[in-house]
Amino acid sequence: MSKRRPTFDRSVLAGAMLGALLLSGLSACGKKPRPPRTPAATPPWTGCSTASLEDLVGREASEPTIAEARKRAGAALVRLKPPGAMVTMDYRPDRLNLTLDAQNRITALNCG
């Protein structure tokens, strides 16, 4: 028995190599990546603070009171927490939480 070496058709091999070469050449023709967008300058955020809001404890949580509390706290959002309500435990430094009693009066304030 003689061992036969497999023979390859050189034209098939040359065609495959030529195809790979052409594809690699075309990849250089793509668009250049754009530089990342720089966000517009925003003023530094000082954060939510309840230091000056103690006078709101005991007041009814009406729309004007809520708006005043949000503005004075420097908060972007307000979350009302009535008795027995379930709330998420996520921390949001830009959120003011108003804890309410059964008469819709503010009993506690905190940020987060």
Domain containing 59 equals: 54-111
Contact assessment for residue 109 and residue 69, using Cβ atoms and an 8 Å cutoff:
yes
- Does residue 83 lie within any of the structural domains? yes
Summarize pLDDT for 90-102 with one digit per residue, the tens: 999 999 999 999 9
Residues 44-67 pLDDT 10s: 656 899 999 999 999 999 999 999
The answer to whether position 36 is within a domain reads no
Tokens of 71: 């503005």
Burial of 105 (0-12, 13-18, 19+ CB in 10 A): middle
Would the pTM of this model clear 0.95, i.e. be above it? no
What's 71's domain CATH number?
3.30.10.10
Range 58-72 burial, b when 16+ CB lie within 10 A, else e = ebebeeeebeebbeb
Does residue 66 lie in a domain region? yes
